[in-house]
Amino acid sequence: MKRNLYNIILLNLISFTPIKVFAGIDESINNFLEPVSKVVSSIVFYSLPLGSTNVELIVIWLILGGLFCTFYFKFVNFSAFRHTIALVSGKYTSSDSSGEVSHFKALSTALSGTVGLGNIGGVAVAISLGGPGATFWMILSGLLGMSLKFCECTLGVKYRNINPDGSVSGGAMYYLTKGLSEKGMPILGKFLAYMFAIFCVFASLGGGNMFQVNQSLDLIIYVSGGQGGFLDLNSWVYGVIFAFLLGVVIIGGIKRIAAVTSKLVPSMAIIYIISALVILIVNIDQIPIAVKSIFVGAFSPEGVTGGFLGVLILGFRRAVFSNEAGIGSAPIAHSAVKTSEPATEGIVSLLEPFIDTVVICTITALVIITTGVFSSGTGIEGARMTSQAFGSVLPWFPYVLAIVAILFAFSTAISWSYYGVKAVTFIFGEKNSIHIIDLTKTVNLIKEAMQEVHKCISSGGKILIVSTKKQASESVLKLANETEQFYVNHRWLGGMLTNWKTIQNSIRRLKKLEKDLSQDLSLIHI
């Protein structure tokens, strides 16, 4: 257990720690991966020239997908919203359903992956580049994203795997494999599923983890003394602490992740929203002006590259980065829900883009616009711009934002680490229904096994004590003799009781020997 925790922490340290010792290694890795990255980026983010701007094909695809799902499901983003609240509150929850976590905890886990630094820094970038009008298109993207989330999370639960130990494996890689197989396209389904899993692994390391920790560190450095401060010169300290805490959480699997995020997400959202509302109340006279600038700028932007189309695409791009609607990550968390009705979790997922984009991103945008920091000409961008907006009301408000930023970054890293593990499990860990071991489940099952052993022995039953390790040979022999139990304290068939292939092959050989023996006996009788 401890060894695995140390391994996770070590991996996180490698991913997160911005330490100068690794500079040479980072440069070597970048030089090696840069050609591959350029090829992949040119495919994934292929742009089409429209008017005076270039529009990524993937953005167009997501917009069309959002429109299609909205109309096809008859505006489910609005019609099912009331039912969403009832489901999250546990009104229709059944303890007998398959799954690992409640609707609320599944939502919290998925929200922790979307509510991150994109809500703080991403909104600021969108406004600094596209003006206040980008906010309007971010909100519209959030509303369309609700329909996309409904579709992908419903599919996630519908095509999930319920493992023998009760754990759940789900996500885009599963509904792509099974869904397209049902449509007579199994090869295409497997190809897309594995491609998604591979990209998900890289996304968990990049945007899901590295981006979060680096942006939160940058904001902390900014509010704690800027360049030359303690964390700026000793940034590895932040990386070590972040990695350790993250490792402690994610090693516990989805149940511990859900337990942490169900408390963390509401807390950080409330702190941030209240802080933002204080700023908006102070600048309440600027709110009507800000709202007007949002609507005017959305359709008649001034000084924005690409004009109307440019600001539209910018708003949608930033919203998608923030709420992750349509990219297939959220279904991984939602698939773990306890339910027998896939559509119920799809309805619950409607809250994600609504809370993330329609509520939090809009509030952030209003804070930036009402305080006027986006047009101050200071050259500050991203999270620092949002921090400056908070500091314009009360000098200590940036410290509150820094704390929130840490929570946002940490929660996002938790969920995306889980997504990455599930993607790796899909690629390498699942074969013949054998899965990567969840150590938390192992500990619990060992406790249950010990209880059964105690019951067996108490009732006069017999057990088999096994250890093929030379160091334990004498201990096993002594214990078995003292308790009058059966034992094996030497090497036996490799993989016995642990390796499925070994057992499978042994069973096949046993059946063959039995068949051959029966034939020989029949010949003898003749």
φ, ψ dihedrals at 486, nearest 5°: -75, 155
- Span 216-262, pLDDT tens digits: 777 777 766 666 666 666 677 777 788 888 888 877 777 778 778 77
Residue 196 lies in a domain: yes
232 in any annotated domain: no
- Note down the domain range covering 48: 37-202+253-422
Q: Do residue 259 and residue 402 come from a single domain?
A: yes
Q: Which amino acid appears at position 416 of this protein? A: W
Q: Are 489 and 467 in contact (CB under 8 A)?
A: yes
- Does residue 483 share a domain with residue 415? no
Q: Is the dihedral of CA 111, 113, 114, 116 positive or negative?
A: positive
The tens digit of pLDDT for each residue in 430-483 reads 554 444 556 666 777 788 888 888 888 888 888 888 877 777 788 888 888 888
**What φ, ψ does residue 363 adopt, rounded to 5°?**
-60, -45
Q: Of 353, 387, 422, which marks where a domain is finished? A: 422
386 plus 457 within the same structural domain? no
**Total structural domains within the chain:** 2
Digit-coded pLDDT (tens) for 378-428? 556 666 777 778 777 777 777 777 787 788 788 888 888 888 888 888 888
Residues 182 and 320 both lie in one domain: yes
Position 5 scores a pLDDT of 47
Asked if residue 450 and residue 414 are part of one domain, the reply reads no
Same domain, 363 and 311: yes
CB contact at 8 A, 102 and 338: yes
Instruction: Find out whether 134 and 372 touch, Cβ atoms under 8 Å.
Output: no
**Does residue 19 sit within a domain?**
no
**75-104 average pLDDT score:** 80
Residues 6+ apart with CB under 8 A from 446: none
One domain for residues 412 and 490: no
Q: Mark whether 264 and 366 lie in a shared domain.
A: yes
**Same-domain pairing of 49 and 193:** yes
pTM equals: 0.69
Report yes or no on 430 lying in a domain: no
Tell me, yes or no, whether 345 lies in a domain. Answer: yes
Claim to verify: residue 330 and residue 455 sit in the same structural domain: no
**Domain end position, chosen among 359, 388, 422:** 422
The runs of H, that is alpha helices, within 115-252 are 117, 123-130, 133-158, 172-182, 186-205, 211-223, 230-233, 235-250
Amino acid 486: pLDDT: 85
Q: Is residue 257 part of a domain?
A: yes
User: What mean pLDDT value characterizes the chain?
Assistant: 76
Residue 44 within a domain? yes
Q: Judge if 133 and 161 occupy the same domain.
A: yes
Q: Are residues 381 and 492 in the same domain?
A: no
Is 5 among the domain residues? no
